[in-house]
Amino acid sequence: MRLARMKLGAVIAGTLVLGCGLSSSPVIARVDGIRIAPGRVSLLPFQAAPLTVVVITSRGIDSSGGAVALQWSTTGGTIAQNGILAGVHYITYTSPAQPGNYLFVVTTATGTPADTASIAVTATPVPVHSVAVVPATASLVLGDTTTFSATLMDSTGSVVFGRAITWSSSDGGVATILPTGFVRAIAVGTTTITATSESHSGTATLTVKSGP
């Protein structure tokens, strides 16, 4: 009986060791999708546009940028890879000389998953239809700084680039803003940050606090 208990104990101990080995093995994340941003762009001939690409896995966004090898292609224009930061692939797309509709496609070696950005190249600039300020809300401690950005879109929702943007703060006593969107908090309170382009505006709310 004592021998039997010893053998049983040895089997249980062996199973525990094996289980520990399995639990410490790396788990391979499943690649669920690819996301290009922005997904729709309107450009002039030979105009450059910054794009980003991220890989979505079963664990969320691939922050390492190495979950899968990506392949790039386009039906017109050129692509330049500018590196990877925190899993985000930074791309510069330059449109071709000929106006028309083009595609920028990112996929894996197997062809799936994939994502496509639609690019409209026009001979003349399309008008700005709406402006979105990013972030839409922000909070700063007195003396801190941040930078707002503006996304300009045409009537189809395509993002446009290269347009003049004017920035303003509704209360310059609370926060000042430079033409680049750079903001400095100088007094406690709330102010509205406005970006204007071609008579269209977008706003964001900035709150300045005395401490964390």
Confidence of residue 3 (pLDDT cuts 50, 70, 90): very low
Question: For 109-148, how does the pLDDT look when each residue is reduced to its tens digit (9 = 90+)?
Answer: 888 899 999 999 999 999 999 999 999 999 999 999 999 9
What pLDDT does residue 144 have? Answer: 97
Question: Hey, where are the domains in the chain?
Answer: 31-121, 130-209
Q: Nearest CA to 51 among 35, 33, 38?
A: 38
Q: Which residues contact 32 (CB under 8 A, 6 or more apart)?
A: 56, 57, 58, 113
Class of domain 31-121: mainly beta
Pairwise CA distance, residues 99 & 184, whole Å: 42
Pairwise CA distance, residues 120 & 118, whole Å: 7
Measured between its terminal Cα atoms, the distance across the chain in Å is: 67
**Third-level CATH fold of 130-209:** Immunoglobulin-like (2.60.40)
Is the fold of 31-121 the same as that of 130-209? yes
Confidence of residue 153 (pLDDT cuts 50, 70, 90): very high
